[in-house]
């Protein structure tokens, strides 16, 4: 959710990868007026979420799609709404889902963003993952308007953010202030992650 540094109050969100529903619950609770589309490729994950993870069955702002992320994004031009925030948190047995690292999918994500929107992906940087190669493809799809965040040097996760427009480095001071306000509101240590973003991208 470090993407909230750049999209403070999203009104429309696409989440690819349902998992244990923690992001769904956070977004519905934190932004009750936000429309949330969730795409999950495995039907059993959706069924388990309804049964065990309190996935709401009747929420007018929540839509669940049983589909592959790349297929859903391929249909994006067929009347679907654009998004303030796209979150991709999908894995297969080997790591980040390879189909969601393809140029057509990533370009589709960029095209599906509103002006000022952000696409954020959860990736890994284990030696076998070729993170530099994955990031290069992401960077190209978003025309160089990207940032990366290594949130924990002891772990393998890395967060990458792609923007629909050029990152405004002149606004870093305002983002720093926003990080403090968001931490007080949501109890997420966003000031720490913002420092990491600055150090890891701007030296």
Q: Which residue has the tokens 């080997």?
A: 94
Q: Which two tokens stand for residue 9?
A: 């109050």
Contacts of 175 (CB under 8 A, 6+ apart): 5, 6, 194
Count Cβ atoms within 10 A of the Cβ of residue 137 and give its class: 0-12 exposed, 13-18 middle, 19 or more buried: middle
The CATH number of 2-169 is: 3.40.50.150
Q: Where are the domains of the chain?
A: 2-169
Query: For residue 91, which of 1, 3, 15, 19 has the smallest C-alpha distance?
Result: 19
pLDDT band at 77 (very low <50, low <70, confident <90, very high): low
Contacts of 172 (CB under 8 A, 6+ apart): 198, 202
pLDDT digits (tens, 9 = 90+) for 124-159: 888 888 899 999 999 999 999 999 999 887 778 899
| pLDDT at 151 (0 to 100) | 87
CA 62 to chain centre: 17
């Amino acid at each position: 959710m470090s993407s909230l540094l750049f999209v403070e109050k999203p009104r429309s969100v696409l989440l690819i990868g349902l998992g244990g529903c923690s992001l769904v619950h956070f977004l519905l609770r934190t932004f009750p007026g936000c429309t949330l589309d969730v795409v999950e490729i495995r039907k059993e994950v959706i069924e388990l979420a309804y049964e065990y993870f309190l996935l709401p069955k009747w929420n007018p702002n929540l839509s669940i799609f049983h589909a592959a992320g790349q297929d859903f994004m391929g249909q994006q031009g067929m009347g679907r709404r654009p998004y303030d925030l796209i979150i991709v948190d999908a894995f297969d047995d080997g790591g980040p889902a390879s189909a969601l690292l393809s140029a057509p999918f990533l370009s589709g994500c960029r095209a599906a963003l509103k002006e000022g929107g952000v696409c954020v992906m959860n990736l890994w940087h284990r030696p076998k993952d070729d993170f530099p190669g994955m990031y290069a493809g992401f960077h190209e799809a978003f025309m160089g308007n990207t940032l990366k965040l290594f949130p924990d040097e002891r772990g393998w996760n890395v967060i990458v953010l792609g923007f629909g427009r050029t990152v405004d480095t002149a606004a870093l001071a305002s983002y720093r202030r926003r990080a403090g306000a968001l931490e007080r509101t949501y109890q997420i240590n966003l000031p720490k992650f913002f420092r990491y973003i600055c150090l890891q991208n701007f030296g």
